[in-house]
Each structure stands twice: as structure tokens, then as C-alpha cells.
Amino acid sequence: MSNNHAWWQTNIIYQIYPRSYQDSNSDGIGDLPGIRQRLDYLQSLNVGAIWLSPINPSPMHDFGYDVADYRDVHPLFGTLADFDRLLEGVHARGMKLILDLVPNHTSDEHVWFQESRSSRDNPKRDWYIWQDPAPDGGPPNNWTSFFGGPAWTLDERTGQYYLHQFVKQQPELNYRNPAVMQAMLDQMRFWLDRGVDGFRVDVIWLMIKDELLRDEPDDPAWDGVTPHARLQHIYTADQPEVHDLIRQMRALLDAYDDRMMVGEIYLPNQQLMTYYGAAFDEVHLPFNFQLILAPWEARAVRRLVDQYEVDLPAGGWPNWVLGNHDQHRVATRVGAAQARVANMLLLTLRGTPTCYYGDELGMEDVPIPPEFVQDPPAVNQPEIAHIVGRDPERTPMQWDASPNAGFAAPGVQTWLPLSDDYAQINVAVQSQEPRSMLAFYRALSALRRDSPALSIGAYQSIDTGVENIFAYTRTHADERVLILLNFAATTHRLDLSRLGSEAEILLSTGMESTGKIRLRALYIVGNEGIVLRLP
Ligand code: GLC
């Protein structure tokens, strides 16, 4: 592609949830040797970078996002030697490997917290956020956990509360103590020295809290559903001091060759964009989750894409995400008929796309029977489990039609149930069908890889006069590509003769149409997306 673009700009990032990708040792949980067995498959998707959700030792209260040791691999997933072999295999295929880094909190089993909680005068006491009880003995303020209940737990032994915005086994580190950042940088160095190409940084926008620990006000816009959304998180999130922390992490990355970080940040554009850093000295990419959060409607999506392009600081590189391990799957959110349109959007917008494992097959959320529910927000809040539970999007990858879908050996109890439809929706079946979702995904990702306009070209939305169609061009040098996406189930006729007389179909979601098409009377059928080369 263009040699002045970095690998994290031109490549697709593919997220693997390691527990659910490939089990190689018949314990029903995916592992690193399993992922290594699937590297040829990953290469066949034309993805250039793989992001692994946490693989560190963890008591798994939040499925690995509660790290007990940043410098090792959980035995469930393998060993450091397995990790090195995986990394070698990834690099041998010209791909990159991104690890999840969870700096905001540790597991309560991390040795730092064990020391911190041991006494009020332990040297690591203020590595975490400890507070005396309120005068009535209750929590020090009104902050709440994302997973339900207060964000404070009383530690009987020393009579103080500690802060946790997730489960109580995830105490939050105190970044007002500079020693904590030094320690976290050491953990990063460990993996950078081993050769990892970057980090996806968990809840980076929460890393530092209001120094005065002030109560948060009620949110007048609260929809009455999730208790955590009842408050406006003006003191637990997006504090001004966070930027200095991120600059320190970035400076470390910049001391190495060609490494990157992408930050998990759920914020509106104005605040989100500040995370690039005033001198582009913070995250390389602040995750842009708007396609997940917006209504699936052509005008709304056009508006948000146009606005994002406007709000992006000059020189900032965009990125788009359709799904991750915290969100209902895209095929479930927008419906199976629109899943191809959604992926065509993701892979033809300007900026780095992030794809969640299984979305290339059209995998959907899997309903989890109550006795199998494991995810803490669902377990803690059973009344809203169907909204906040994340097990449905974390089910095993569907490789083939054999019992356990090729994810685990037949007869093994998998950690989450498989989808009922795995005999049809799987890699083996879809690899045989020339027009399957998987075949479509491979064609689309190859098209993107081979087209400078799609990889790095300029973006411009265009009016078609039809409200269900989102249309835009991508342009680089003399290559002009037109993308038409029909968000509705109805056929539309468009007159786009102002763009030329004829165009060549490069790919359509149905993979049936090929050849030239007249722009004066162009038909786009329901749920169709078309990528065209303009003259
Ligand atoms: C992030 C992760 C999520 C986890 C939380 C706490 O949002 O993506 O899975 O539960 O942080 O670490």
C-alpha cells in the first residue's frame, strides 16, 4: 500500500476472545496453541493484526479482565513458551499481534493488592484507592459499579473501603501515585521486549478519578434501565489528568520500533478526539464505537460518519468498530439480512476497521439458559441480564458441523453453549459455498487490501435522493470507488449519472452482479450493498 501509512492504519484488526476461539487440550476453553492452529484461517481473512482479549493469570471473576499477574500466561491458555510460538507464527505470516492491557484495575489476588490490603501502613497501601467509611459507616461517596451496586467495598481487616467500578474483585489502582505508573510501564515493557506489536488498553478513559472523590450528579436523561447510567460520570471518567498518564505510555511505545496502542473509550466525539493527544502523543487510535451505538438507519449512519470525519483532528487517523466482547453481535443488532451491508460499511469506510471473531460468518448472539449465565453484570442483575449480559456474544467459534463445532473435541463440555445453528453457520460449510458470508468477507477484505482508494483514500458522502441509501466515494490518485448501501429491504432505482455514464461492479453483497452498470438507472435491491469503480 502506501509506504507512508503505518500497519495499524491499513490493516484490519481482528479481535479474538481466547476462551472461545479454539480449544486444543479438551478442557472446553480456548487456548493459545488453539489460536496458533488457526493462523492460516486468519491469514485467509486478509486481516493484518490480531488482538487477544486478556491471557494473563486471573481468577476469572471478569473472565481475564481481573489480572493477577501481568507478566505471565494463564495456565488455561498455555505458557509463555506457547505465547512465544504464537507470536512467531503470527509474525511469520506478516501479521501483527496486539495484547489487551488492563491498567485501571488488578485482580484482588494480585500481589500488589494483597500487600495493599494487608495494613494501613503497608508501602503499597496507596497503590489502590482506599477511603474511610462515610459518617454513617456506608461507602465514601455515591459512585456505582458498571456491573450493579456501589463502587466501594469495605475491607473489614483495615476498616476502609476500596474502589472498584467493575466487580469487587477488581480493585482500582491509584494513578495519583507515580510509582503505580512506573510499575505499569514495567509490565508493558515485559511484553514489548517479547515482541508484541501493541496494546488494546482497557477502559483507558477511566484510569484516574476526581481527587476529591465528589459525588456524581443524577443524569436527567437516564432511561431507567441500567442502574450505572443513572449518574453522570463526571468524576469517575475522562478526568483531565488521564492525558498525562497516556502520554507516559505512548512515550514508552515510541521508544520501540513501530508499536501502537488503541484505547477503549466510550465518549462523544469532542472528548474522544482529545485522546489522540494535542501533539498526537497519546493513543494511536481511540476506539470509535458509534456504529455499535447508533440506530441502524441510513441517514443516521451517514450523519455520524460525516460528523466524525469533521470532528477528527487534522492528521488523526479514523477507526470503526462493529462488534466486541461487550456488545451484542452485529448480525443480531441489525439482523442477518443487513449483516453483509454492515461489514461492507466497516471495510469501506476510511480508517482502521476492527472485526470481532465470528462476525465474518454472521454469527449471532446465542441465548444462554439461566443456569449457564456466567457474566458478572448478568449474574448480579438478573432482571436486566438480557440487556447487560455479555455471554451471548462470547460463545465458541463455529469451525465445522461436528459435535462442538470443531471448537473442542466431541463430548467435551464447552465453557459456554454453542449456537444451535452451528451445523450451517460455520467455516467449513461457508468455505465451500461461493456466495457465503465468509466468501463475501474474504472478497471484501481482499478488495480493501488491494485498493488504495479503499485503504487510504479520501471519503465523501453523496446525496442519492433516497433516504434508505447511504452512498459515498473513496478516492485516491485517479482511483475512484463508489459505495452504495441499502439499509432497507426494498429495491430502489437511483440516477447517479452526474458521476459518469457507467461504472464497474467490484463487489456486491449478494456476489451475483458483475460487469458494467449504467449509472443513470441503477437498481439496488433490498439489503444490498455494491462497491463500484467509477470511470
Ligand atoms: C472493559 C472490557 C470489559 C471488562 C471491563 C472491566 O470494558 O472490555 O470486558 O469487563 O473493561 O475490565
- How many angstroms does the Cα of residue 509 sit away from the middle of ligand 1? 33
Q: Is 264 a catalytic residue?
A: yes
Q: How far is the CA of 201 from the centre of ligand 1 (A)?
A: 10
| Per-residue pLDDT, 4 | 87
**Three-class HEC string of 149-169:** CECEEEECCCCEEEECCCCCC
User: Residue 420's CB: how many other CB atoms inside 10 A?
Assistant: 11
What is the rounded average pLDDT of the residues 515-524? 96
Output the pLDDT for position 247.
98
Q: Torsion over CA of 321, 324, 328 and 330, rounded to 10 degrees?
A: 40
Q: Which residue has the cell 462470547?
A: 394
Separation of CA 247 and ligand 1 centre (Å): 22
What is this structure's pTM? Answer: 0.98
- Give the model confidence (pLDDT) of 98-151 as tens digits: 999 999 999 999 999 999 999 999 999 999 999 999 999 999 999 999 999 999
Check: CB of residue 249 under 8 Å from CB of residue 208.
no
* HSE-up of residue 491 (Cα within 13 Å, Cβ side): 5
Domains of the chain: 7-105+178-443 (3.20.20.80), 111-163 (3.90.400.10), 458-533 (2.60.40.1180)
Catalytic residue among 172, 197, 216, 264: 264
Q: Does the pLDDT at position 85 exceed 70? A: yes
Helix residue ranges per DSSP H, 349-426: 376-380, 385-388
Q: Give the model's confidence band at 3: pLDDT under 50 very low, under 70 low, under 90 confident, else very high.
A: low
The question of whether 391 is a catalytic residue gets the answer no
Query: What would the pLDDT profile of 470-494 be if each residue is shown by its tens digit?
Result: 999 999 999 999 999 999 999 999 9
Mutate to test the pocket of ligand 1, among 65, 147, 289 (most ligand atoms within 8 A of CB): 65
Pairing of strands 479-486, 469-476: antiparallel
Contact status, residue 165 vs residue 143, Cβ threshold 8 Å: yes
Is the pLDDT reported for residue 2 higher than 60? no
- Residue-wise DSSP of 225-247: S-GGGGB--TTTSS-TTHHHHHH
